[in-house]
């Protein structure tokens, strides 16, 4: 077990989330400590993500935002603690049970992670070919549907090099949605995008949440996105190696009273209001 004695008595984070404790969360993290070897990234994280919300993982550089996302999707194992999905312990589950749960995840990585030698349609078809018994014609129709959902109807035969960065992000999202996941995970979805493309992606995320009732977990440092799409979130602090507060971005700004959070959420001057 990895521990950090200097951080062990840190107070619990301020909870401004207003989530109903009697309702089973879609995702629950209990006493999670993240570490690389003996180097502790974050200590004793505890938070709940209700079904159908957009949950933001936020904080300054080096606080472990992407590391936390990788723990949530099973790419990294905790030094301590557990992650639960619908009340089932994902961390302690068998390999078969973990694999079954992971098939309910859709992940959009920062780069989009498209295969450059494949068309958009071929990229989106990959998980359908790998994990389903659908016939080629059925896969073709599903691919067209998923690309249409992200505004890329008619771009099936384009290669990633032939479209913009924002369109590549949307194509990556279509692939993440291919298997109708219960949960979507986004790692810095707006990175490298111009403000217009970033706004379009934010609008798409909100539309997906409302139309598909999908739970969405987003790692981002972009203020406009944080306030536009976030229902709740957690603020990670690299100095204390703990979460400082949990709640909606606006509640964290208005009510946390924590200078580090206020400074983070007012970068660039002035308060950001949704």
Backbone angles phi, psi at 196, to 5 degrees: -70, -45
pLDDT band at residue 198 under the 50/70/90 scheme: confident
How far apart are the C-alpha atoms of 167 and 117, rounded to whole Å? 16
- Domain assignment of residue 242, yes or no: no
How far apart are the C-alpha atoms of 19 and 112, rounded to whole Å? 32
- Domain assignment of residue 55, yes or no: no
φ/ψ bin of 121: left (φ > 0), alpha (ψ from -120 to 50), beta (otherwise): alpha
170: containing domain: 114-181
Instruction: Give the global pTM.
Output: 0.88
Answer yes or no: are the C-beta atoms of 222 and 65 closer than 8 Å. no
- Domain assignment of residue 160, yes or no: yes
Mean pLDDT confidence for 168-178: 90
pLDDT band at residue 235 under the 50/70/90 scheme: very high
How far apart are the C-alpha atoms of 177 and 193, rounded to whole Å? 21
Q: Identify which has the larger pLDDT, 156 or 3.
A: 156
Residue with tokens 């690309």: 147
Structural domain count of the chain: 1
The first and second tokens of residue 190, run together, are 């707006």
Sign of the Cα torsion 111, 117, 122, 128 reads negative
- Domain assignment of residue 216, yes or no: no
- Domain assignment of residue 51, yes or no: no
Say if residue 112's pLDDT is above 80: no
- Domain assignment of residue 175, yes or no: yes
What is the per-residue pLDDT across 124-138, written as a single tens digit (0 to 9) for each? 999 999 989 999 999
What is the per-residue pLDDT across 43-68, written as a single tens digit (0 to 9) for each? 999 999 999 999 999 998 889 999 99
Q: What is the predicted pLDDT for the residue at 4? A: 47
- Domain assignment of residue 33, yes or no: no
- Domain assignment of residue 145, yes or no: yes
């Amino acid at each position: 077990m990895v521990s950090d004695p200097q951080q062990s008595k840190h107070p619990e984070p301020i909870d401004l989330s207003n989530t109903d404790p009697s309702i089973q969360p879609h995702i629950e993290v209990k006493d999670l400590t993240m570490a690389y070897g003996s180097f502790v990234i974050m200590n004793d994280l505890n938070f709940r993500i209700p079904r159908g919300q957009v949950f933001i993982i936020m904080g300054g550089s080096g606080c472990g935002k992407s590391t936390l996302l990788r723990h949530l999707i099973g790419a990294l194992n905790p030094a301590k603690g557990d992650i639960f999905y619908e009340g089932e312990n994902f961390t302690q589950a068998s390999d078969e049970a973990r694999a079954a749960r992971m098939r309910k995840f859709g992940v959009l990585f920062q780069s989009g992670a498209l295969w450059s030698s494949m068309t958009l349609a071929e990229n989106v078809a990959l998980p359908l070919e790998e994990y389903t018994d659908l016939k080629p014609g059925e896969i073709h129709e599903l691919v067209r549907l998923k690309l249409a959902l992200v505004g890329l109807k008619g771009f099936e035969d384009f290669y990633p090099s032939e479209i913009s960065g924002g369109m590549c992000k949307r194509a990556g999202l279509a692939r993440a949605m291919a298997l109708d996941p219960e949960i979507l995970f986004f790692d810095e979805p707006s990175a490298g995008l111009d403000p217009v493309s970033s706004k379009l992606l934010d609008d798409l995320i909100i539309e997906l949440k409302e139309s598909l009732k999908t739970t969405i977990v987003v790692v981002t440092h972009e203020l406009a996105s944080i306030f536009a799409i976030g229902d709740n979130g957690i603020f990670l602090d690299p100095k204390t190696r703990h979460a400082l507060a949990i709640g909606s971005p606006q509640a964290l700004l208005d009510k946390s009273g924590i200078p580090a959070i206020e400074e983070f959420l007012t970068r660039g001057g002035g308060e950001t209001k949704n």
